[in-house]
A and B are shown apart, each in its own frame.
Chain A
Amino acid sequence: KNQVEQSPQSLIILEGKNCTLQCNYTVSPFSNLRWYKQDTGRGPVSLTIMTFSENTKSNGRYTATLDADTKQSSLHITASQLSDSASYICVVSVNNAGNMLTFGGGTRLMVKP
């Protein structure tokens, strides 16, 4: 069964600190992995998309890593800001399947001043 597990479920950090969110998946065959940021009551917004051959990808203060061998990804947030408070959702795409996106349950991050 295709699954995406994220940890931790929730996280509280102080403004300015770094943090790392984890995503483990069992999806096969793998096509790509995406990280989305979802503010409360809003739709998800894409941060990164990584294919099988990509190990790391950055988007400003967000850096995603992918280890396709161990089927793990991480999202590292540097110098956190209050506006980083949101849910971060890991999404894995199955190769050549029309609709097949498997969503993780998300990590809820709260950045405190």
Chain B
Amino acid sequence: DTGVSQNPRHKITKRGQNVTFRCDPISEHNRLYWYRQTLGQGPEFLTYFQNEAQLEKSRLLSDRFSAERPKGSFSTLEIQRTEQGDSAMYLCASSLGGFSTGELFFGEGSRLTVL
């Protein structure tokens, strides 16, 4: 399968623990995005990378959140000291080029439940 891959698909953790999600984009895509989605809402932008450079971060991305994309390939999103409000679906997407031309492909998401 050559689509966007996310792992793990589901994560249940206790408040205060750290969690890390991984995203493998479509191989030739230079842009990678992280979104957060809560039930019944549309996705909210968190951050995006062009190759290995993190070009923008949302205000939603508090200092407990960090994202990396070493070597411009896969990306990780780490949440430290998780809180119950972090419970959501974390979606990764990738594209070739910007939104004026590039189709955006989403992964299946990583659902986080913080107890």
Contacts and interface: CB of A to CB of B under 8 A. Distances in A.
Given A42-B109, A43-B108, A98-B48, A104 B42 contact: yes
B4 interface: yes
A42 B106 CA distance: 9
Given A98-B55, A106-B42, A108-B40, A46 B103 contact: yes
B41 interface: yes
Contacts, number: 64
Interface string A33-66: 0101000011111100100000000000000000
B48 A99 contact: yes
A100 B44 CA distance: 11
Sorting the interface of chain B by its residue count into under 10, 10 to 19, 20 to 34 or 35 or more gives: 20 to 34
Contacts of B50: 98
Interface residues of A, number: 28
A43 B100 contact: no
B23 to A, nearest CB: 11
Nearest to A49: B103
Nearest to B6: A43
Nearest to B55: A98
A100 B31 CA distance: 13
Nearest to B109: A43
Interface of A: 4, 31-32, 34, 36, 41-46, 49, 89, 91, 93-101, 103-106, 108
Given A32-B100, A44-B91, 6 more contacts: A4-B42, A46-B104, A89-B42, A91-B42, A98-B56, A99-B56
